[in-house]
Amino acid sequence: MPRFGAHLSVAPLDLPDQRRTVSGPAAALLRAGQLKCDCVQLFLRPNRQWTAPELSPEQVAAFAAEKTAAGAIHPVVAHAAYLINLAGPPEARVARGRVADLSLAALKDELARAVALGLPYVVVHAGNHLGLGEEAGWRRVVAALDEALDPHRDASVTLLVENTAGQGTAVGWRLEQLALILDHVAHRARVGLCLDTCHLFAAGYDLRTPEAYQSTIAEIDRRIGLDRLHVWHLNDSLRELAGRIDRHTHIGCGAIGIEGFRLLVNDPRFAAHPMILETPKENDAGRPMDPVNLRLLRRLAGKK
C-alpha cells in the first residue's frame, strides 16, 4: 500500500494535556500523528518570503525527539519555498536583490535545514523562465540544482523536481522538459522527480480511464524512468485537462475524479511510494478535510 500523508503546518501547536506548545518542524510531525498519516510534507522556511528565522538547536532537538516518538511516520518531505525561481533571467531583481541569487541561497538553506533534520527529500519547482525561453530556463535550473547540491555531495538528501501545471512561463510541465533537467544534472543520483496529479492533468496528461492512466504512466517511464520518481502529490484538479491552470481540490471532487485516484493508489509500481495531499484544509462549510481525503484514499486502496 502507498504511504498516505498530507502537507501540514509548522505553526505552533498547543498540547493542553501535556501543558506545552510545540513549534517548527516537530509541530508538523505531531499533526501528522494526530491525523494518522504514514508520511508528511512541511515547509522548512516561510513559503512566501525571502528571509527566514534560523532553525534553532531547540527546534532540531524537538524534531528529533518527535521523530523517534513517531517513528512510523516517514518519509518527512520538505517542500521548498514558492518564491524560489531557478529558471528566470539572471538580471531579474526584487527589492532585496537578484532573484537568481536569492533563490540559490534559499535553496542551499533549504538543503542545509533538511540535512540538519535528517530529511531525505526537498521538493522544488523548476520555476518560471519569464521570457528567457524554455531551453535557457531549464539549463539555468540544471546549473542551479548542481550548485545547490555541491556542498551536499555525500549527504543523504535528494532534491526532487516537481512537475508544474504549465501556467504562464513555468518550466517543467512537459515530461520532455523534466527529463532534460534530470538527465543534465551532474549530481544525477541526488536529483529525482516528484509528480503532482493536478499539475500532470493540467499539463495535459490524462489519468481518468485505465487506458489514459496506463499511457500517462508509460510515458513517464519512457521519458524519465519510474526509478527516479520518489514522491506523489495527490490533488484533484478544479480545472480541465490541458488547461494549464493550477487549482487543487479534494480527491474525487475535481476534473480527474475518483477513478484516476483509484488507479494510482492501486498501482503495484507505487505500492510503497509516499502520496501526499495538498488539497484545501477545509470545505466550504469549514469542515476539516484532511481526515476525509485520507480516509477516501485508504478506502480506494483497500485499507480500512
Q: Which stretch binds Zn ion (CB under 5 A): 70-78, 83-91, 113-121, 273-281?
A: 273-281
- Tell me whether residue 38 or residue 162 sits nearer to Zn ion (CB atom): 162
**Is 121 annotated as catalytic?**
no
HSE of 139 in the Cβ direction (CA atoms, 13 Å)? 7
Task: Please tell me whether residue 196 binds Zn ion under the rule CB under 5 A.
Answer: yes
- Environment class of 79 (CB within 10 Å of its CB; exposed 0-12, middle 13-18, buried 19+): buried
Q: Strand 236-237 relative to strand 248-249: parallel, antiparallel, unpaired?
A: antiparallel
**Is 233 annotated as catalytic?**
yes
Provide the minimum distance between the beta carbon of 218 and Zn ion in the complex, in angstroms, as a whole number.
22
**Is 125 annotated as catalytic?**
yes
Question: Cα(123)–Cα(191) distance, rounded to whole angstroms?
Answer: 10
**Is 211 annotated as catalytic?**
no
Task: Please tell me whether residue 110 binds Zn ion under the rule CB under 5 A.
Answer: no
Binding-residue total with Zn ion (CB under 5 A): 4
One symbol per residue from 145 to 184: x for binding Zn ion (CB under 5 A), - otherwise; what is it? -----------------x----------------------
Residue in 109, 59, 120, 121 with CA at minimum distance from that of residue 83: 109
In a 3-state reduction of DSSP, which class is residue 67? helix
- Tell me whether residue 157 or residue 234 sits nearer to Zn ion (CB atom): 234
Task: Please tell me whether residue 246 binds Zn ion under the rule CB under 5 A.
Answer: no
- Environment class of 60 (CB within 10 Å of its CB; exposed 0-12, middle 13-18, buried 19+): middle
Provide the minimum distance between the beta carbon of 211 and Zn ion in the complex, in angstroms, as a whole number.
25
One symbol per residue from 216 to 235: x for binding Zn ion (CB under 5 A), - otherwise; what is it? -----------------x--
Provide the minimum distance between the beta carbon of 278 and Zn ion in the complex, in angstroms, as a whole number.
5
The catalytic position among 162, 190, 213, 250 is: 162
Provide the minimum distance between the beta carbon of 232 and Zn ion in the complex, in angstroms, as a whole number.
9
Question: Cα(215)–Cα(50) distance, rounded to whole angstroms?
Answer: 40
**Is 82 annotated as catalytic?**
yes
C-alpha cell at 280: 484545501
Tell me: cis bond preceding 75? Omega within 30 of 0 counts. Answer: yes
What phi and psi, each to the nearest 5 degrees, are found at residue 17? Answer: -65, -25
Task: Give the residue numbers marked as catalytic.
Answer: 48, 79, 82, 125, 162, 196, 199, 233, 246, 248, 278
**Site of interaction with Zn ion (CB under 5 A):** 162, 196, 233, 278
